[in-house]
Amino acid sequence: MSDSYLVEPDVGFIKEVIKLGGGDVKKCYQCATCSVVCPISPDTKPFPRKEMIATSWGLKDRLIGNGDIWLCHNCGDCSTYCPRGAKPGDVLAAVRAYAVTEYAVPKKLGKMVNDPKSLPILLAIPAVLILVVGFLCNVLFGVKWLNFAPGGDAIVHGNFFSTWLVDIIFIPTFLFAVGVFALGLKRFLADIHANAMMEGKTNKDNKEKIDPAGFIQALIRVLSTILQHKKFNECGENKERATPHMMVLFSFIALFIVTSIFFVALYVFGQHGPYSQLNPVKWLANLGGIALIIGSSLMIMQRLSKKDQVSSYKDWSLLGLVFGLGVTGMLAQLTRLGGLGGVSYFVYFIHLMFVWCLFAYTPYSKLAHLVYRTVAMAYQEYSGRK
């Protein structure tokens, strides 16, 4: 006698997925074309057919703790070949957006990040925070802030808003984001491991916990796949997305390296900016900034050209933030070099707002896929699933 399973649909979950861009999920009639044409779907328990069934039935618990929703790179092959136009790629993207909010805390902030009505509030938070902390530090400790005077012949952003003041705001914000990710990943790993054991998607005998050493080794092995965007290149419909994605990814890596070097130069060696344009680290910063602008611009144009694919608010808000980061960062430098002090300081302040938003809201935004997808791919490698 076969085992029975009581289906308890979560109607609220279905409505949320539809709201997040999975509005065509009910068109699916379970033909499995999507799993057949997907070039990166595993041989055992392939996706996305089972995820489409679970979504249409409202089986939230079967999806949120399912690592397979993150293995999908949303290349669009399944949506193109779907005979019913159910757009499986967009449905999985919507489920991932829901999962990000589910794993991040506080959940209310996660819902705000994905709600266009909350955008003014989300932008006002860093503006008010920077101004309030700057005012308090100026009154209590005499820290430089909002000084529009160039200071001789040089325009120095540190005179307008102290580098030390920036760091006491941004370092705690960065640590907050790391903490949110750490809490989410702890639950996420436990869930995908339990799900894999239940559905037989692993060759590991240990059914209780993940071996940390083995998982780290698997993570190291998949890093080359991620950095080279090999999975993107296996897809057919949107293979051109690989180049702009790589540009944005490597620009973030380059700018992180630059920030780390300048942080050490300032607090260890006492070398204050602005630094010479002939400095090799400055070259890396400029290349990273240019790659960020070009890469995000290409991604925006590609989304505008794909009329058959769903582009929801979570997609456009992320692209707008990434593009804004690149443009304001480059404009702040160019206006400084051009002697436009007032303009440069204003653009620099906007840039600081965008950077804070990147740090604080990443655990709740679509950009969180950098972390969750990496972990899911590492677990697939760790489990030996092909």
Buried b (16+ CB within 10 A) or exposed e, 272-290: eeeeeeeeeebeebbebbe
* Residue at 353 is within a domain: yes
Give backbone dihedrals phi and psi of 117, rounded to 5 degrees, phi first. Answer: -70, -20
Question: Do both 22 and 80 map to the same domain?
Answer: yes
User: Is residue 365 a contact partner of residue 180, using CB atoms and an 8 Å limit?
Assistant: no
pLDDT at 4: 64
Q: Residue 357: inside a domain, yes or no?
A: yes
Last residue in a domain, options 104, 131, 161: 104
Distance CA 386, CA 189 (A): 19
User: What's the CA gap between 237 and 78, in Å, rounded?
Assistant: 9
**CA 123: distance to chain centroid?**
18
Say whether both 69 and 208 belong to one domain. no
Last residue of a domain, one of 86, 104, 122: 104
> Does some domain include residue 302?
yes
The reply to whether 6 falls in a domain is no
For residues 253 and 194, what is the distance between their CA atoms, to the nearest angstrom? 33
What are the C-alpha distances in Å from 98 to residues 13, 21, 47, 312?
9, 11, 18, 13
Query: Do residues 288 and 219 share a domain?
Result: yes
Quick check: is 237 in a domain?
yes
User: How many alpha carbons fall within 13 Å on the CB side of residue 190?
Assistant: 7
Residues 74 and 139 in one domain: no
Token couple for 167: 């760091």
* DSSP 8-state secondary structure symbol assigned to residue 239: G
Task: Determine the pLDDT at residue 206.
Answer: 55
- Does residue 266 sit in the same domain as residue 373? yes
Residue 250 buriedness (CB in 10 A; 0-12 / 13-18 / 19+)? middle
Q: Specify the DSSP class assigned to residue 153.
A: T
Rounded to whole angstroms, what are the CA distances from 15 to 23, 105, 168, 279, 288?
Answer: 9, 21, 41, 53, 40
CATH number of the domain to which 49 belongs: 1.10.1060.10
Domain of residue 28 covers 11-104
Are residues 98 and 126 part of one domain? no
- Of 69, 87, 104, the last residue of a domain is 104
Q: Are residues 221 and 332 in the same domain?
A: yes
Tell me, yes or no, whether 217 lies in a domain.
yes
Helix (H, G, I), strand (E, B) or coil at 145: strand
Residues in CB range of 234: below 8 A, 6 or more apart? 39, 40, 75
Helices marked H in 142-238:
157-160, 163-199, 212-228, 230-234
Same-domain pairing of 100 and 200: no
Residue 5 lies in a domain: no
Same domain, 96 and 184: no
CB 345 within 8 A of CB 148: yes
**Judgement on whether residues 64 and 213 belong to the same structural domain of the protein:** no
pLDDT given at position 373: 95
DSSP-assigned letters across all residues of 79-143: HHH-TT---HHHHHHHHHHHHHHHHSSSHHHHHHHT-GGGHHHHHHHHHHHHHHHHHHHHHHH--
- 66 forms beta bridges with none
Question: How many structural domains is the chain composed of?
Answer: 2
Question: Which residues in the chain come in under a pLDDT of 50?
Answer: 1, 152
pTM: 0.91
Q: In the structure encoding, which two tokens stand for residue 380, read together?
A: 């697939």
**Within-domain flag for 4:** no
Amino acid 3: pLDDT: 61
Q: What is the pLDDT of residue 9?
A: 82
Q: 133 and 78 in one domain?
A: no
pLDDT digits (tens, 9 = 90+) for 324-363: 999 999 999 999 999 888 899 999 999 999 999 999 999 9
Q: Within 13 Å, how many C-alpha atoms sit on residue 171's CB side?
A: 9
How many residues can be counted in the chain?
386
49 & 167 share domain: no
The alpha carbon of residue 204 and the mean position of all alpha carbons in its chain are separated, in whole angstroms, by 30
